[in-house]
Structure 1
Amino acid sequence: MIVVSETVQKFLLDYIRKKDLQPGDKLPSERELVQLLEVGRSSVREALQVLSERGIIEKQPGKGAFLKSNVFHNHLGNVKSLMPSMDTHSSLDLLQFRIGTESEIAYLAAKNRSDDCIHILEQSILDLEDCINNGTSIIAPDLLFHGTLAKATMNELIVQVYSTLVEFFKKVRIEMAINDDVEHALYYHKEILKAVKNRNSERSSILMRRHIEDVQLNYKKMLSEMGVIE
């Protein structure tokens, strides 16, 4: 069972750590988090409430959430103790599943894509570049890119299955958000788009496999740094 608020908690803790926030620094607003992570406002509020109850952040009515000094610094050396429970086996299984599934999606997308799908894929890459330049999460354009490829297959069953799995995909995306290798993501998205535009199914499939394998490797590296796996 996916508990979205716990995944949002991990994102916020990663954000605090990676951005090296200092006591009193402001966290992204509820609205910004909803847009960045593609989640519901209730999940964001629940995550903020839990972190507030744990003394990690302080919520100020009308102003937002701010890093609270004492508890955060007491625990800074032990990141793992701060993190909510993570079903890493499920996430790793999902990434393995994506390697095979999305490689086939990319193959069929190159064969069957429409001009409309190409336009959406191009826009998703522009949005991804904007996120990189602004230092914000690439979750929204990333999900748009992969979801559009599924639609580009023109296979209704693939589209339906992908739609049912997207929440699971989103869980791993949020877990990795601050640790994303954004330059690699941009490279693979651009190269996959070229292959799809040229209707080069074989290259599109190979590139997608390499892309997800790269994500898988980065995810394992993140877990190792957190002390979750050896």
Structure 2
Amino acid sequence: MKPKLSDTLRPLPTVDRAKQVTSALAQYVADASLRTGDRLPAERELMAALAVGRSTIREAIRHFQALGVIETRKGSGTYLLRPISPDTVHMPLSLDTTKLRDVLLQTLQVRRGIECEAGMVAAQMRTADDLAFIEDKLVKMETVHLEKGSSGPEDLAFHLAVYDATHNPLFRQILEQMRESFEHFWASPFDRKDFARRSFPFHRTLFDAIAAQNAERARRETLKILAVVEEDIKEMSK
């Protein structure tokens, strides 16, 4: 007896228009054989060719800027910093989606290395403007946390601000490459709103360490945050 169609096929996920634009632009660069220094089409041309809105185009542009492959020059346009193709702008991660606990622990190992180093470098390299930006994100995170008991996207914004304070674009580029897969697993682990809630106070002490330009202390405070995360993964996955 043949299986029902509904037993073998599942509804497709909602299409991410910005992701489509990212792929289309990467394919265009490859097909047009653009080189470093070549100018990309203007926003209005891309909007017309791809039939998408300005915000979608700009989101894709920001993605490429974060990866360090294009730059926008005010009053001039957007230029290619290095050639790209659909095969080089994404970093597919091979993760077993059926084993949430194992995946979270594996990605935590990667986060520990990157975030500890980012905190240390930020403490050494941050400027007064960087510090003000990090604190702004921290205050917003604290406000949301006190109101809702969780931080959500505000937590990510805080850590991105720390990454940017390193003045090393590779930190954000690496995160952007892995972000889609990471967010898939870290969005709401175990459906627990209290996941990693105990790590909340250590974000303020991490900021204090960066403000004091104490790299070793920044590393220790980052480890405290991630230690809470690891404890909650193991406890909530029992």
Aligned letter for 1:125? L
TM-score, structure 2 normalization: 0.54
Please point out which of 115, 122, 125 is paired with 1:112.
125
The one-character-per-residue Cα deviations of 1:104-150 (angstroms, maximum 9, x if unpaired) are: 11110100112222122212222222222222541211101111111
**Corresponding residue of 1:221:** 235
Verify: 1:202 aligned to 2:216, yes or no: yes
Aligned position for 1:92 = 105
- 2-side partners of 1:117 and 1:136: how far apart? 27
Cα drift, residue 95 of structure 1? 0.6
Does residue 179 (structure 1) correspond to residue 203 (structure 2)? The answer is no
- The CA RMSD over aligned residues, in Å, is 2.1
Amino acid at match of 2:195: D
* CA contact 1:150–1:159 (8 Å) conserved in 2: yes
Q: What is the rounded CA distance, in whole Å, between the counterparts of 1:170 and 1:198 in structure 2?
A: 31
Residues 124 and 214, structure 2, Cα contact 8 Å, conserved in 1: yes
**Are the aligned partners of 2:150 and 2:194 in contact in 1 as well (CA < 8 Å)?**
no
Mapped contact 2:209–2:218 kept (Cα < 8 A): yes
Shift of 1:187: 1.0
1:131 maps to 144
Gaps of 5+ in 1: 6-83, 225-230
Q: 1:150·1:162 contact (CA, 8 Å) conserved in 2? A: no
Shift of 1:170: 2.1
CA distance in 2, matches of 1:159, 1:133: 28
| Number of equivalent positions | 141
Q: Based on CA coordinates, which of the two structures has the bigger radius of gyration? A: 2
CA distance in structure 2 between the partners assigned to 1:149 and 1:99 by the alignment: 14
Query: Hey, what's the Cα distance between the residues in 1 that align with 2:199 and 2:136?
Result: 15
Tell me what 1:152 maps to.
Answer: 165
**1:46-85, aligned counterparts within 5 Å?**
85=98
Partner amino acid for 1:205?
Answer: R
For 1:51, the equivalent position in structure 2 comes to none
Structure 1 distance, partners of 2:142, 2:165, is 22
Distance 1:196 1:94 in 2: 24
Higher relative contact order (CA 8 A, sep 6+): 1
The one-character-per-residue Cα deviations of 1:58-108 (angstroms, maximum 9, x if unpaired) are: xxxxxxxxxxxxxxxxxxxxxxxxxx9553322210011111221111110
TM-score (norm 1): 0.56
Instruction: State the secondary structure of the residue aligned to 2:216.
Output: helix
In percent, how many aligned pairs have the same letter? 23
SS of aligned partner of 1:178:
coil
Aligned-partner SS, 1:179: coil
- Determine if contact 1:111/1:201 at 8 Å carries over to the other structure: yes
Normalized per residue, the structure richer in helix is 1
